[in-house]
Structure 1
Amino acid sequence: MTPLVLPADDDAQDWVATRTTDGLAAARTLVDRLREAPPDTTLELVRQWDEISRRLGDVAAVSSLWANVHPDEAVRTSCEQAEVEVDRLVTELRQDRALYDIVAAADATGLDPTAARLLDKTLDDFRRAGVDLDDKSRRRLSEINERLTEVGQEFGRTIRDDVRTVRVPAERLAGIPQDWLDAHPADADGLVTVTSDYPDSLPARMFVHDADVRRQVTVAFLQRGWPVNEPLLDELFALRQELATLVGYADWASYDADVKMIKRGSAIPEFIDRIAEAADAPMRRDLELLLERYRRDVPGATAIDTADSLYYEELVRQERHDVDSQRVRTYFDFPKVQQGLLDVTARLFGVTYEPVTDASVWHDEVTAYDVLRDGARIGRIYLDLHPREGKYKHAAQFTLADGLAGRQLAEGVLVCNFSRGLMEHDHVVTLFHEFGHLLHHVLAGAGEWTRFAGVATEWDFVEAPSQMLEEWAWDADVLRTFATSASGEPIPADLVARMRAADDFGKGYQARTQMFYAAMSYWFHTDRPRDLTAAMRELQARYSPFAYIDDTHMFASFGHLSGYSSAYYTYMWSLVIAKDLFSAFDPDDLFAPEVAGRYRDRVLAPGGSRDAADLVADFLGRPYTFDAYAAWLAR
């Protein structure tokens, strides 16, 4: 199997247009053949339907990636339109009663469990698309789905393109790392520009001594996307509610939860409150320490907000745990971290990475690697890890091609926005996390069915494998293999121990902050408040330890409201499982081949071919529990 050959820059727009036209035409031809001459066997029927899915997925994958990362705005726009066209056809097919009747009449007798699972999932897709509704309702659902795609694109585009700036004299940035200052020279007016992009805003909020500068940067960060995105979100929530009720659900959260591990929309606030209660005591303990340090500079303060919290967290960690993040970051030079990540994951999962120096890429900072196992290529990965204008602003894994045994090579892309020089350790952890998604995609790329290829598990399990991989970014022996100072000295083990202890500080209120986000995600969809800022403030007061900052509208740049919709709870749901998964590893031997291989083969490689709960139970030898997470949170 050969990798996808991407075009040269000058040909990219024509290539996208041709690929979209040809891919959609091929899918329609297969549909016509299926409709006119249904196969004699159910297995062949399922295979033909899966091939239609593959053709559509191939178009959608490239379009989704390049809509978010391609340097040429015209290419990004073409890709957004291609996404709309794919979604339109997918909706059309899932609402086609004649196709449904063919699939519904199929006899599952004799199918293996995975093929039978695919047949069941396909029938469920038809039902959730409203195939049994009247013509008028189906037309309305088609309109809703198309508009949902457009609104989601506009919402994300606004976040991506809305880069706020703060300009201040260099002396007001005292405390920020020198390498950051070196990379940000003053302009002709003697001012240094700090943008709202993560490589700028995070160091400014963590290290700058000037409280007013920290506040300006924080406010700029929290104002991104507003006011443009508020009416888009109102429309998004209304459309989702209408879709859900048309196909028989009480609300969008119920519709969305029905295909997740949690199953019930009403179980989401129950889970949120369970985590909030478990985190309450640790939150209060750590928040009091934070406030105690804050009051030394702001006597009489009774609350702290996010314009100051990161800075004072750093001070608490320095003073209580002797952890200076500026010293820590000197051990994490980006090129060494990237190579260390490849070395660690190669050893853990039994793969090797070969640089592909002649691969066509969309930007000169993108690198490509072939992934090999036992000498055979099993996938190709692309790393697009630094910020630039017009690029997706967060961190995510994008599919380029689904891996299918004997049919198609697994290809994926890691898209991040890290510094090109020294990294905060939090960003190292994020890199490990996101790379976990990329590996999951590749390692689950040897199955038979498109529907179950790659990261195709229930959405509230998707984060668990990546959250577990973060543990390797906290282990002293692992870090010492690549985290070295400019003189080549490995990071001291006792410093890593203090870093871990310092990281434990604040996990209670961080969990509560996550529940604030999860509650916003859920209640915005179920209550659909008229004033999103007021509703956000109410939920922040209920769940978050940090006070609201006037004239900020964080929800407008909370991209997960588009992708995760009402289900942001899934990050914490996954973390509960991740802690239990990690309990199977020996902390003194994180590379033990038996357990690592069993985890790779039983949890990652199956993709979505089985329920996530069954994959976890197969690996652990028992159902997952809340116990490991509760113990970690309480310590």
Structure 2
Amino acid sequence: MEKAVTSLQDNPLADFTDLPRFAEIRPEHIGPALDVLLSQAQAAVDRAEDPATPSTWRDAVEALEAATEPLGRAWGVVGHLSAVADTPELRKAHTENLPRMTEFWSSLGQSLALYDKYKAVAAGPEFAGLSPARKQLLENELRGFRLGGAELAEDRKPRFAQIQEEQAQLSKAFSDHVLDATNLYALFIEDESRLAGVPEDAKEAAALAAQKDGKSGWKFTLHFPSYFPVLQYADDRTLRQTMYEASVTRASELGTKFGGGQADWDNTTNMRDQLALRREEALMLGYNNYGEVSLVPKMADKPADVLRFLDELGVKARPYAEKDWAELRAFAASELGLNTLDPWDVAYASEKLRQQRYAFSEHEVKQYFPEGKVLEGLFGVIEKLFTVRIEPDQAQTWHKDVRFFRVVNPQGALLAQFYIDLYAREGKRGGAWMDDARGRKERDNGTVQTPVAYLTCNFSAPVGDKPAVFTHDEVITLFHEFGHGLHHMLTQVGDLGVSGINGVEWDAVELPSQFMENFCWEYEVLSGMTQQVETGAPLPRALFDRMLAAKNFQNGMMTLRQIVLSSFDMHLHTDFDPQGGKSVLELSREINDRVHVVPQHPLSRWPNTFSHIFAGGYAAGYYSYKWAEVLSADVYAAFEEAAQLSGSVLDGETGRRYHREILSVGGSRPAMESFVAFRGRAPQIDALLRHGGMAEGVSA
């Protein structure tokens, strides 16, 4: 053992003195680091389980956290690198080590001895003297033991552990299949006339991609910054159809036919297997379905409540969606000669209609959002609202494009740090997310472990010597992920399990992210964070007014799409039989036909790439985006109310109150308590409907 520990001193993955040593970490470091970290963590578990170990906060809860945190941080680095810098060697090491990591955490959750220790702490004499945060943490841990199978009969625990391991492997495989199918596809165009309508910057990026492959012409991929401009702008309908069909058949049985995969990347069986395992897990724990299990740590009480919420929102949105769809079809027929509106026409026709109705294009707006000015504006909003400063910092990174910053208080003291990785590239999972590199923790010696966040997006990279420019939607995405980052970084809770986003109910965790999106619709914010790339001029007020008028363009249709995804997810995990005669795809079509006004194309296999619920932790929880939107819109309404007095939505007093009652408390108290502490009342749906143009007297 001593020899192993000594060798670990040279292993960068096991160095927790400061930030991860990304430039030095290699796949071959993973196994040896985990050998020692797992051994140390298991030894701590054994000590905590020992009947001779006192049932106290320090000896049971704190000691166990201290020993398992390094293991979690090391594995977090591995998972992060798998998402942003995937290689065959890294994937192999991740796959080899995933079973033993899953086995350790499963056995921890199943430990009846530990569960009894935690229950003894909760029932013991020191409980009354614990801080509210520690009481909440203890309650969360006890719930975790129950959901982890600690109360199961001993002869059933091996099967429960096996279920966890199989689910982890299937989830990773699902994600890998989507990434591989996305990376594999390439469409080379030699005839420039086929690219009529496609913006110049998208064409330049495609030409550069082709050059990198040693080919002439233009290369288009299924990565969003390459794929979507074709769907949105290309006049060549066949080209749009080709790209659409490749995208919606990824990781399905049709992938090989349309160029987006290999036969063994088909996620159809994977989805059924995951659903069957989740159902078995729920039944073992004494629940009727996995939806009930998923909601135990959430704000919503039961699946029926969620489905009722979605149905009621759908009823409110449907008239607006019907109007959106009718207008789009009429426009496409009369102005574009498209008597049949196929899915590969929708984004194209919508963009043409937007341009006609509001006299601007997304491409025109994009030229006002160069990366440097956007980040400057985002940081300015945060600094004004929360009385902090954001400064450039230095750290090892996993790619040359990654930047690193520090957040400090007015006196210059370090509060947090973050990495920001903005561009799409091969080997990087699609989408946008925030993840934690480490959480805030107050140590016994009076020092503080400051939080560190990863902020990851998939925007278009700079081309040549031009700066990267973002669409307004991408700017909104950046603000969204930064909202998550602020929740993690500005916490003032010192107990790791409930600091930042830890311990926050999953259907409330989107509140801070969606809240930040609202600032992207304020001229006082945009005027200071825009700069036309050719002229240097800020976004004109007249153009902003047209953008604002178009804000809720097709919002009825978009709302129904979110409800389809959310309802599909909840039904999958409540009343769908994965071993029955109906397929996952058939369920998706049934729900789309019932809820949406836009038909689902026969080729579409979108469930096969629904990574949120099959690889991203949102199983029976996708509804939380809409659930939290009610909360976030109502919270933002407080800033709108303050602006009526102060003249600015960047109201410092309201920002400090929001920081104090929501961001700083993290998961140390129920989200509803935090909301009421900030707002002074229970949430109301009015602000969401008003912001979305779906309230009476508000134009959609």
Sort the TM-score into its range (normalised by shorter chain).
over 0.9
Residues 1:339 and 2:376 are matched in the alignment:
yes
- String of CA shifts for 1:499-519, please: whole Å, max 9, x gaps: 121121111111000011112
What SS does the corresponding residue of 1:504 show, helix, strand or coil?
coil
Contact 2:393 2:404 in 1 (8 A): yes
Sort the Cα spacing of 1:373 and 1:515 in 2 relative to 1 into closer, same or farther, 3 A.
same
Q: In terms of mean alpha carbon deviation, does 80-89 or 308-317 score higher?
A: 80-89
Post-superposition shift, 1:14? 4.0
| CA distance, structure 1, for counterparts of residue 401 and residue 79 of structure 2 | 19
Residues 1:349 and 2:386 are matched in the alignment:
yes
Sort the Cα spacing of 1:71 and 1:558 in 2 relative to 1 into closer, same or farther, 3 A.
closer
Contact 1:304 1:546 in 2 (8 A): no
Post-superposition shift, 1:569? 0.7
Sort the Cα spacing of 1:287 and 1:382 in 2 relative to 1 into closer, same or farther, 3 A.
same
Residues 1:610 and 2:659 are matched in the alignment:
no
Contact 1:50 1:449 in 2 (8 A): no
What SS does the corresponding residue of 1:454 show, helix, strand or coil?
coil
What SS does the corresponding residue of 1:385 show, helix, strand or coil?
strand
Identity of aligned residues (%): 28
Amino acid in structure 2 at the alignment position of 1:194:
F
Post-superposition shift, 1:91? 1.2
| CA distance, structure 1, for counterparts of residue 421 and residue 33 of structure 2 | 22
| CA distance, structure 2, for counterparts of residue 460 and residue 23 of structure 1 | 32
Please name the residue that 1:167 is paired with.
188
What SS does the corresponding residue of 1:93 show, helix, strand or coil?
helix
Aligned 1:217-296 pairs, distance under 5 A: 217-227=243-253, 228-296=266-334
| CA distance, structure 2, for counterparts of residue 264 and residue 522 of structure 1 | 11
What SS does the corresponding residue of 2:251 show, helix, strand or coil?
coil
Amino acid in structure 1 at the alignment position of 2:201:
D
Sort the Cα spacing of 1:305 and 1:576 in 2 relative to 1 into closer, same or farther, 3 A.
farther
Please name the residue that 1:469 is paired with.
516
Post-superposition shift, 1:192? 2.4
Residues 1:502 and 2:550 are matched in the alignment:
yes
Residues 1:371 and 2:371 are matched in the alignment:
no
Matched pairs, number: 632
Structure 2 residue runs of 5 or longer lacking an equivalent are 1-15, 254-265, 462-467
Aligned 1:565-604 pairs, distance under 5 A: 565-586=619-640, 587=643, 588-604=647-663
- String of CA shifts for 1:55-80, please: whole Å, max 9, x gaps: 34323322221121125432344245
| CA distance, structure 2, for counterparts of residue 552 and residue 194 of structure 1 | 20
Amino acid in structure 1 at the alignment position of 2:404:
A
Post-superposition shift, 1:206? 1.2
Residues 1:522 and 2:570 are matched in the alignment:
yes
| CA distance, structure 2, for counterparts of residue 407 and residue 30 of structure 1 | 23
Residues 1:410 and 2:451 are matched in the alignment:
yes
Post-superposition shift, 1:300? 8.2
| CA distance, structure 1, for counterparts of residue 654 and residue 72 of structure 2 | 33
| CA distance, structure 1, for counterparts of residue 314 and residue 508 of structure 2 | 20
What SS does the corresponding residue of 1:379 show, helix, strand or coil?
strand
Aligned 1:37-436 pairs, distance under 5 A: 37-39=52-54, 41-42=56-57, 44-106=59-121, 107=124, 108-163=127-182, 164-168=185-189, 169-185=191-207, 191-227=217-253, 228-297=266-335, 301=339, 304-357=341-394, 359-374=395-410, 375-405=412-442, 406-420=447-461, 421-436=468-483
Please name the residue that 2:259 is paired with.
none
Sort the Cα spacing of 1:249 and 1:290 in 2 relative to 1 into closer, same or farther, 3 A.
same
- String of CA shifts for 1:77-129, please: whole Å, max 9, x gaps: 42454454333212101211222222222323332322222222211111112
Residues 1:492 and 2:514 are matched in the alignment:
no
Q: In terms of mean alpha carbon deviation, does 484-493 or 68-77 score higher?
A: 68-77
Amino acid in structure 2 at the alignment position of 1:537:
R
What SS does the corresponding residue of 1:154 show, helix, strand or coil?
helix
Task: State the TM-score, normalizing by the size of structure 1.
Answer: 0.95
Sort the Cα spacing of 1:84 and 1:612 in 2 relative to 1 into closer, same or farther, 3 A.
farther
| CA distance, structure 2, for counterparts of residue 111 and residue 397 of structure 1 | 31
What SS does the corresponding residue of 1:380 show, helix, strand or coil?
strand
- Within the candidate set 438, 443, 453, 2:499 is matched to 453
Q: In terms of mean alpha carbon deviation, does 267-276 or 604-613 score higher?
A: 267-276
What SS does the corresponding residue of 1:167 show, helix, strand or coil?
strand
Contact 1:384 1:414 in 2 (8 A): yes
Structure 1 residue runs of 5 or longer lacking an equivalent are none
Amino acid in structure 1 at the alignment position of 2:498:
F
Post-superposition shift, 1:606? 0.9
What SS does the corresponding residue of 1:337 show, helix, strand or coil?
helix
| CA distance, structure 1, for counterparts of residue 676 and residue 484 of structure 2 | 20
| CA distance, structure 2, for counterparts of residue 222 and residue 438 of structure 1 | 31
What SS does the corresponding residue of 2:434 show, helix, strand or coil?
strand
| CA distance, structure 2, for counterparts of residue 305 and residue 518 of structure 1 | 24
What SS does the corresponding residue of 2:626 show, helix, strand or coil?
helix
Sort the Cα spacing of 1:492 and 1:100 in 2 relative to 1 into closer, same or farther, 3 A.
same
Amino acid in structure 1 at the alignment position of 2:604:
T
- String of CA shifts for 1:487-544, please: whole Å, max 9, x gaps: 1100011211211211211111110000111122122223045422222222221222
Please name the residue that 2:601 is paired with.
549
Residues 1:482 and 2:532 are matched in the alignment:
no
| CA distance, structure 2, for counterparts of residue 175 and residue 79 of structure 1 | 43
Contact 1:66 1:79 in 2 (8 A): no
| CA distance, structure 2, for counterparts of residue 77 and residue 488 of structure 1 | 48
Amino acid in structure 1 at the alignment position of 2:186:
T
Please name the residue that 1:512 is paired with.
560
Amino acid in structure 2 at the alignment position of 1:118:
L
